[in-house]
Structure 1
């Protein structure tokens, strides 16, 4: 497996790990997590749980484009080292994104989202550049 492929797995794990702690904490009086009603909106209303749910949902939204970009880059023989480096950078940016989302830093969060999107777009278009890049 390539580093970029492992980053696809890391991206999935990140959005899963984002929501799990929110289900365990009891900070805002919404009660305990009820596995019989896992999508109860009242449980996620307000505070850190709502932000963790938002970060989780955004991770699910960002994943398909990132995974498709990595696989396209690899299938179309883009430079593997650049694909790997950009993929690692994407995961780092997404970790920072989750932290700023949960930490209620909306402006920085939006900047990190844009950076992550640009990185994914760059990975997606790497096959176009393969004739111009060494290695």
Structure 2
């Protein structure tokens, strides 16, 4: 299995991991974590909890483009070292992004988001430059 495909697996694991801060914020809310209606509770989060919710949503939103990029690159350009580097760049960006978002460091967060998005786009276009 290539590094890029392992990165795809790692990105899938980021889904539940990105939920932990949001769940912690929900648990700290007055009545604790509402497992019967967690989405309604998530909508009421403010401050750090709202940012945690945004981190989780953004992780889910970014995954399909990355997944498509890795699959396109794997099928069309399986031996290009840049593909693995781009996949690793996406994972690195997705690990730094939540830290910056939760700390409310918005300019750096946007820059890191751009790195991840750019890596996904580059993976999608890899057949053109492979």
Question: Which range moved further: 66-75 or 116-125?
Answer: 116-125
- Corresponding residue number in structure 2 for 1:69: 69
TM-score normalized by structure 2? 0.88
- Corresponding residue number in structure 2 for 1:14: 14
- Corresponding residue number in structure 1 for 2:115: 115
Determine whether 1:59 maps to 2:59.
yes
Q: Provide structure 1 residue ranges, at least 5 long, that are not aligned to the other structure.
A: 131-135
Within 5 Å, which residues of 2 pair with 1:29-108? Answer: 29-41=29-41, 44-108=44-108
Number of paired residues? 129
More helix by share: 2
RMSD after superposition: 1.8
TM-score normalized by structure 1? 0.85
Q: Provide structure 2 residue ranges, at least 5 long, that are not aligned to the other structure.
A: none
**Aligned mates of 2:44, 2:101 — CA distance in 1:** 14
For the pair shown, which has the larger CA radius of gyration, 1 or 2?
Answer: 1
- CA deviation after TM superposition for structure 1 residue 43, in Å: 6.4
Instruction: Report if the CA contact (8 A) 1:101-1:109 is conserved.
Output: yes
**Aligned mates of 1:24, 1:111 — CA distance in 2:** 26
Instruction: Report if the CA contact (8 A) 2:34-2:41 is conserved.
Output: no
- CA deviation after TM superposition for structure 1 residue 74, in Å: 0.8
